[in-house]
Structure 1
Amino acid sequence: MIALVTGATAGIGREIAAKLCAAGATVLITGRDQQRGAAVAAELGATFLPADHATVRGNLDLAQRLREDVSRLDVLVNNVGGGAFATRMLTDEGHEATLALNYLGPIVLTQALRPVLASDVHIVQVVSSALTMHTGDPFTEPTPYTAIAAYAQAKQLNLLATMSLARQLGVRARVNAVNPGMAWTPGVQALTPQAVPAWRYIWPLVRAMQRRALPEKAARTPTRLALDPIDTGRFYESRGTAKPLPPRLRDPALHDRAWRFALSTMEG
C-alpha cells in the first residue's frame, strides 16, 4: 500500500503518517521545510517530498514528480491546510491565500494525480467543523475579511468538491471528508484573537482548551478512513460518525460546480 499524506511534518498530518507507517504502508509525506521534513521522514520511516501547497503551480509540480516516481497511489490524505492570515492576502497567481491552500490546492492535486490513483483508492479530505460557519453562497467571498471566515468558506468548498469526486470515481473508490476535531497544531498555535473575533472575550479559555487537544487523537478517524473506510461520499465527524450534510449543501450540481471551479485554476 502506497500512501501520500500532505502537510505531514507536524500536527495531525504527522500523526496520520505515523499511524499509516505503523500499519505497514509505504508513506510519502510533504511539507515546505526540507530539513524538518527529512528529519520527520527518517523518524517515521517515510519518504519526504518538498512541496508548496499554497499555490496551484506548487501542487501541479508535486503531482508531476509523483507521476514520474510512483506507478500507483492507494491512499491519498489531503491533510494540508490552515492559513490564519491576519489580513486578506493573494497568492502570486491571484487567488485569495486561504482559499488556495485549503480548497484549490487539494482539489487540483487530486485531479493531477488521477493517472496514478488506484481504482479502489482511499481518498481522505481533511476539512473542519468551521465549514458550517459560512452560511452564504459558497462561491461568494465573505466580507469583511476575517481569517476564520475565509477558512470556513474554503473548507466548505473543499467538502462540496469532494462529494463530486466521490460520484465521479464510483463505488470501488472510497472518497470521504472528515472533521478531525480540535488539536494543538502549529496552525492552531498561530491563531490570534483577530483571526476569530467572536472568541476575543473568551480567548484565554479557548487557548486552554486547544492546548489540551492532542493531534494523535485527531488523527484517529482520518487514519481509519484511509485504511478501512466502509462507505464513500460521506462527511465524518471526529468521533468517526458519518454526519448528513446540511440540506443546502446536498445539491450534486453545487458539488460539481465546486469541483469545476477548482479545476479551472489549472488553466491559468
Structure 2
Amino acid sequence: MIALVTGGTAGIGRQIAAKLRSAGLTVLITGRDQPRGAAAAADLGASFLPADHATIAGNLHLAERVRELAPHLDVLVNNVGGAAFTQRTVTAEGHEATLALNYLGPIVLTQALLPTLTADARIVQVVSSAFTMHPGDPFTEPARYTAISAYARAKQLNLLATMSLARQLTDRATVNAVNPGMAWTPGVQALTPEAVPAWRYIWPLVRMIQRRASPEKAARTPALLALHPTGTGQFYESDETAKSLPQRLRDPALQTRAWQTAVDLTAPRHIVDRPPNASEPTRKE
C-alpha cells in the first residue's frame, strides 16, 4: 500500500508517517524545507517530495509528481495546515493565505489525486477543534482579521468539504475528518499572543499546556483512520470517538457548497503557474 502524508517532515505529520511505515506502507511525505524533509525521509524510510502547499499551483505540481512516482495511491492524509500568518496575507494567486493553506490547498490536491486512488482508498482530513470558533457564515471572511479567526473559518470549510467528498465517494473510498488534539509542533511553537488575542492574558499557562502535548499521541487517531477505518463521512476526536457535528454543519447543501466553492476558486484561471517553492505569499496593503 502507498500513502501520501502532507506536512510529514515534523510534528503530527511525521508521527503519522512513522505509524504508517511501521504498518508496512510505502510512504511519501511532503514539506517546504528540503534539508529537514530529506533527513526525515531517511529516518523514516520514506520518500520526500518538496511542495508549496500554500498555493494552488504548488499542490497541482505535487499531484503531478505523485502520479509520476506512484502507480496508485491507497492512503491520502491531508495533514498540512496551521495559523501561520499573524497579519492578513494574500498569496500570489490572490487568495487569503490561511484559507489557501488549510482549505483550498487540501481540496485541490485531493481532487487532483482522485484518479490515482485505489478501490478501497482511505482519505483522512486533519482538521481542528478551532472550527467551532467560527460561528458565522463560513463563506464570509471575518471583518477583523486574526490568525485564529482565519484558521477557524478555513478549518470549518475544510470539514464541510470533506463531508461532501465522503458522499461523493461512498462506494469508492472512506473519507473521514479528525481533530488530532493539541500537540507541541513547530507550527504551535511559532505562535505568538497576537495570533490568538483572547489568550494573551493567560499566554504563559497556554504555553505550559501546549508543551506537554505529544505529537505522537495526536497522530494515533489519524493513523488509525488511515489503516483501519470503520466507516466514512465521520468526524473523529483525538480519542478515536466519532462525534456529531453541530446541526448547522450537517446541512448537505452547505457541505456541497464548501466543496464546490473550493473547486471553483481553484479553477485554472485562478492559478499562477510556478514551480514548487517558488511562490511566497505577499501581504495585502
**TM-score range relative to shorter protein:** over 0.9
Match of 1:45 in 2: 45
Q: How does 1:237-252 map to 2 (within 5 A)?
A: 237-252=237-252
Q: Do the aligned residues in 1 keep the contact of 2:83 with 2:150 (CA within 8 Å)?
A: no
Structure 1 residue 242: Cα displacement: 0.4
Structure 1 residue 42: Cα displacement: 0.4
Tell me the amino acid that sits aligned with residue 256 of structure 2. D
RMSD: 0.8
Match of 1:86 in 2: 86
Per-residue CA deviation, residues 56-105 of structure 1 (Å, 9 max, x unaligned), is: 01000111111222111000000000133111000000000000000000
SS at match of 1:39: helix
Structure 1 residue 266: Cα displacement: 2.6
SS at match of 1:182: coil
Per-residue CA deviation, residues 3-57 of structure 1 (Å, 9 max, x unaligned), is: 0000010000000000100110000000001111011000000000010000001
How many residues align? The count is 268
Q: Do the aligned residues in 1 keep the contact of 2:12 with 2:183 (CA within 8 Å)?
A: yes
Q: How does 1:139-150 map to 2 (within 5 A)?
A: 139-150=139-150
SS at match of 2:267: helix
Q: Do the aligned residues in 2 keep the contact of 1:12 with 1:185 (CA within 8 Å)?
A: yes
Alpha-carbon separation, structure 2, partners of 1:7 and 1:245: 26
**Within the alignment, does 1:29 sit opposite 2:33 as a pair?**
no
Alpha-carbon separation, structure 1, partners of 2:36 and 2:213: 23
Tell me the amino acid that sits aligned with residue 94 of structure 2. G
Alpha-carbon separation, structure 2, partners of 1:119 and 1:135: 37
Tell me the amino acid that sits aligned with residue 91 of structure 2. T
The runs of 5 or more residues in structure 2 that have no matched partner are 271-285
Q: Do the aligned residues in 2 keep the contact of 1:83 with 1:101 (CA within 8 Å)?
A: no
Q: Do the aligned residues in 2 keep the contact of 1:83 with 1:97 (CA within 8 Å)?
A: no
Alpha-carbon separation, structure 2, partners of 1:15 and 1:251: 33
SS at match of 1:113: helix
Match of 2:19 in 1: 19
Classify 1:112/1:172 alpha carbon distance in 2 versus 1 (closer, same or farther; 3 Å): closer
Alpha-carbon separation, structure 2, partners of 1:121 and 1:63: 16
4+ residue runs over 2 A deviation: none
Q: Do the aligned residues in 1 keep the contact of 2:83 with 2:195 (CA within 8 Å)?
A: no
Tell me the amino acid that sits aligned with residue 241 of structure 1. T
User: So what's the TM-score if we normalise by structure 2?
Assistant: 0.93
The percent of aligned pairs where both chains have the same amino acid is 77
Alpha-carbon separation, structure 2, partners of 1:83 and 1:246: 23
Tell me the amino acid that sits aligned with residue 84 of structure 2. A
Structure 1 residue 157: Cα displacement: 0.3
Alpha-carbon separation, structure 2, partners of 1:87 and 1:208: 25
Match of 1:122 in 2: 122
Q: How does 1:1-268 map to 2 (within 5 A)?
A: 1-264=1-264, 265-267=266-268, 268=270
Q: Do the aligned residues in 2 keep the contact of 1:171 with 1:232 (CA within 8 Å)?
A: no
Structure 1 residue 172: Cα displacement: 4.2
- Higher relative contact order structure (alpha carbons within 8 Å, sequence separation ≥ 6): 2
Alpha-carbon separation, structure 2, partners of 1:227 and 1:266: 32
Alpha-carbon separation, structure 2, partners of 1:69 and 1:189: 33
Q: Which moved more, 1:180-189 or 1:76-85?
A: 76-85
